[in-house]
Structure 1
Amino acid sequence: MRERMDRKGFHPKSQANLEKGRKTFYEEAKKGRLLMLTETADEGLKRMAQARGLSKSELVERIGRELIKLVDDL
């Protein structure tokens, strides 16, 4: 387990929700996804997640569930 903790982007709260046999936070288990981002966007997500005490994965989850609202000029 220690080796996984040293990887860039590892967050124990996010990983725990991916592992089978663990309690999920939502009515469904998370699945691994690939999200392509620039370094700038990744750093921005990291700052936004840290400001909320979340992992980047959980931040994206909450945005997708519309628990965190995005404000723009639509």
Structure 2
Amino acid sequence: MSTTQQYALDAHRARRHGEPTPPAPGTHDWRVTRALRDHHRFRAVLAGRPAHGRVRRALSRLPRPRPRPTR
């Protein structure tokens, strides 16, 4: 059963029982993503690490490929 079918079934059941319908799938995805990012930043600050720019700093330490010599 797909998520859309499950949502339709849940909405139908909620209407039959007089309850509010559940939120549609994907409604709060960005909100959850932001909350997770904020949580990781908060944990980083508590641990004494920088709260942002860690990925870019880690990528800057990787060796860069050399350009190929032209003939």
Normalising by structure 2, report the TM-score: 0.30
Larger Rg belongs to:
2
Q: Which has the higher helix share?
A: 2
